[in-house]
Chain A
Amino acid sequence: AQSVTQLDSHVSVSEGTPVLLRCNYSSSYSPSLFWYVQHPNKGLQLLLKYTSAATLVKGINGFEAEFKKSETSFHLTKPSAHMSDAAEYFCVVSEPYGSSNTGKLIFGQGTTLQVKP
Chain B
Amino acid sequence: NAGVTQTPKFRVLKTGQSMTLLCAQDMNHEYMYWYRQDPGMGLRLIHYSVGEGTTAKGEVPDGYNVSRLKKQNFLLGLESAAPSQTSVYFCASSSDRGSNSPLHFGNGTRLTVT
A94 pairs with B103, CB closer than 8 A: no
Which residue of B56, B99, B104 contacts A105 across the interface (Cβ within 8 Å)?
B99
Report chain B residues within 8 Å CB of A36: 103
Tally chain A residues at the interface, Cβ within 8 Å: 24
- Taken residue by residue from 41 to 65, chain B's Cβ proximity to chain A (1 for < 8 Å, 0 otherwise) reads as 1111100101000001010000000
Please tell me if B84 contacts chain A, counting CB pairs below 8 Å. no
Query: How far apart are the CA atoms of A102 and B3 in the complex, in Å?
Result: 23
State how many angstroms separate the Cβ of B71 from the closest Cβ of chain A. 17
Other-chain residue from A43, A90, A103 in contact with B42 (beta carbon distance below 8 A): A90
The 8 A CB mask of A81-102 against B (1 = contact, 0 = none) is 0000000001000111100001
| Contact, CB under 8 Å: A44 / B99 | no
Extra pairs beyond A97-B97, A110-B40, A110-B42 (7, CB < 8 Å): A41-B107, A43-B90, A104-B45, A104-B98, A105-B45, A105-B98, A105-B99
